[in-house]
Amino acid sequence: MKKYLNIFDFKQKVDYKTEVLSGLTVALALVPEAIAFALIPGFSPLTGLYAAFVLALVTSIFGGRPGMISGATGAVAVVFVGLILELKNTFPGIEPETILHYVFATVILAGVLQVVAGFLRLGKFIRLVPHPVMFGFVNGLAIIIFMAQFPNFYQKGTDELLTGAPMYTMLGLTLLTMLIIWGFPKLTKAIPSSLLAIVVVSAIVIGFGVDTLTVADTMKEGQSIQGGFPPLSIPEIPVTLQSLKIIFPFALIVAVVGLTESLLTLNIIDEITETRGRGNKECVAQGTANILSGFLSGMGGCAMIGQSLINTSSGARARLSGITAAVMLLVFIMFGSSLIERLPMAALVGLMFMVAIGTFEWASFKTFRKMPNSDVIVMVLVTLITAITHNLAIAVLFGVIISALAYSWENAKRIRARKYVDDNGIKHYEIYGPLFFGSTTLFNEKFDVQGDPEEVIIDFQESRVADMSGIEALNKLTERYAKAGKKVHLKHLSKDCILLLKNAEDIIDVNVLEDPTYKVAVDEL
């Protein structure tokens, strides 16, 4: 049952049955996740569910990566814990309702920043994330997903593990879920195994009245997922500089964390589906979704790698699955809350365990003896930082910085010079390797200013000047030769290096002497 579906600018062959069933599976998995993330900063479950609905719907329609699922996330929820503490310190006795208005305003401002980032085409900077960082990010996220399921094995309201029959029941149902998800695709792929597992385990629990943890048990007393269409909520906060000073830092963090996680998830789904998404378009879609989420009583969010992997592993490749997930989530909120609250957490825990296992890059263990030590160290550090802090943006930024420093260190050691004196008594230095901030010290050590003849040629045919530090190194070197009364000529500089030298004349004195043979530091031959 495959037809062509054209939603806005995207056209591809779509299997309607697979897309709809996959979307239903994702919707079921979104419920406990959205509730759990909403409870982190102390919001009501509906605040997370509304955010999941708006994020999933808007990004599925307008986003740059069909098949990717967005919703309320822990990385964003954690930011609001800091915002709430800041508000309570600034305004002692502030009402919970007022706090929510500040949260919604923060989400809206974060969305505006993300839209601006998309229009400025900043999404392309995700290309600067090295592969070891990607491995570390994915592995850390898999550990987070895996560890996040363990509270479901505790007695309600305590930090004590279940014991006896309740523990055996929970483990048995979880393992049954995992077994169905693993084994059913070997028989047929007509129905997503994740959906079948949830239905079978739920039928056993509800049909036989098995006493085990349900979705309703994960919520505080008196709370429910029952609600209507997301209500319009205009943030009622003072439009003052003080308000902006309070919410802007947190809005910026939400924007950066959200885009980092979304664009990295986009890259992962690209690799799985062997297609290419559009990062800048995704930035605009994420921002638009967060703006609407703030106005529709949602806590905001970003792409969710767990749900995205559930979706793609079920065979979904188009926008229809995400749209279905969003619509079904709203149906659950408005009409099916009583049934959804009876779903056993064991089925959802088993599903997330399988997602964690599938997310982890097991192939990364093979890199330990085959890849450079710096790459292995970066991968392990990013994994640990992601798993410990749950701050994906900081982990990725740290990994990029360490990778860049390691790259600079390796390239700094590659600067070399081949030296010889020609028949005319002119000494030649043939430079190999890039001249940049990391290699300037070694570069200067290659020259014997006092012992060189009256004329020196420095040949850059196998090198290039990469930055201002390189220009300054040339400037200092030519100054030393000038003080010694000797001439220096630069040969075979690339066009971009020549442009750097010309641009630097207003900042530093570039001591390059003209020569009738080599021109002003360049030989076109």
The mean predicted confidence, pLDDT, of the chain is: 86
pLDDT at 48: 93
CA angle 42, 44, 50 (to 5 degrees): 125
pLDDT exceeds 60 at position 516: no
Tell me the C-alpha distance between 37 and 343, whole Å: 18
Side chain identity at residue 338, one-letter code: S
pLDDT at 504: 63
**Confidence class for position 506, pLDDT limits 50, 70, 90:** low
pLDDT at 240: 93
pLDDT exceeds 50 at position 5: no
User: Which of the residue ranges 11-20, 70-79, 383-392, 501-510 would you say has the lowest mean pLDDT?
Assistant: 501-510
Confirm if 386 and 361 have CB atoms less than 8 A apart. Answer: no
Confirm if 300 and 110 have CB atoms less than 8 A apart. Answer: yes
pLDDT at 156: 77
Tell me the C-alpha distance between 293 and 283, whole Å: 15
Regarding beta strands 487-491 and 455-462, do their DSSP bridges make them parallel or antiparallel, or are they unpaired? parallel
pLDDT at 2: 46
pLDDT at 523: 40
Tell me the mean pLDDT in the region 192-212: 90
Of 98, 79, 78, the closest CA to residue 87 belongs to 98
pLDDT exceeds 60 at position 437: yes
pLDDT at 351: 85
Strand (E) or helix (H) holding 173: helix 164-183
**Confidence class for position 6, pLDDT limits 50, 70, 90:** very low
pLDDT exceeds 90 at position 125: no
Residue ranges of domains in the chain, CATH in brackets: 15-153+162-403 (no CATH), 416-504 (3.30.750.24)
Regarding beta strands 70-71 and 10-15, do their DSSP bridges make them parallel or antiparallel, or are they unpaired? unpaired
pLDDT at 255: 92
pLDDT exceeds 90 at position 261: no
pLDDT exceeds 90 at position 499: no
pLDDT digits (tens, 9 = 90+) for 79-99: 898 899 999 999 999 999 999
pLDDT at 229: 94
Tell me the C-alpha distance between 247 and 177, whole Å: 43
pLDDT digits (tens, 9 = 90+) for 211-254: 999 888 877 777 788 899 999 999 999 999 999 999 999 999 89
Tell me the C-alpha distance between 352 and 349, whole Å: 5
Of 55, 41, 49, the closest CA to residue 304 belongs to 55
pLDDT at 505: 61
pLDDT digits (tens, 9 = 90+) for 336-364: 998 888 989 898 888 888 888 887 888 88
Tell me the mean pLDDT in the region 410-414: 84
Tell me the C-alpha distance between 102 and 121, whole Å: 29
Residues comprising the chain, all counted: 525
Give DSSP secondary structure letters for 245-298.
HHHHHHHHHHHHHHHHHHHHHHHHHHHHHT----HHHHHHHHHHHHHHHHHTT-
pLDDT at 288: 97
Q: Give the contacts of 189 (CB within 8 A, at least 6 positions apart).
A: 315
pLDDT exceeds 70 at position 515: no
- State both tokens at 438: 């990391």
Regarding beta strands 487-491 and 427-432, do their DSSP bridges make them parallel or antiparallel, or are they unpaired? unpaired
**Confidence class for position 374, pLDDT limits 50, 70, 90:** confident
**Confidence class for position 521, pLDDT limits 50, 70, 90:** very low
Residue 55, phi-psi category: left (phi > 0), alpha (psi -120 to 50), beta (remainder): alpha
pLDDT digits (tens, 9 = 90+) for 450-488: 999 998 988 888 888 888 888 888 888 888 888 888 888
Tell me the mean pLDDT in the region 394-412: 86
pLDDT exceeds 90 at position 177: yes
More confident site: 134 or 326: 326
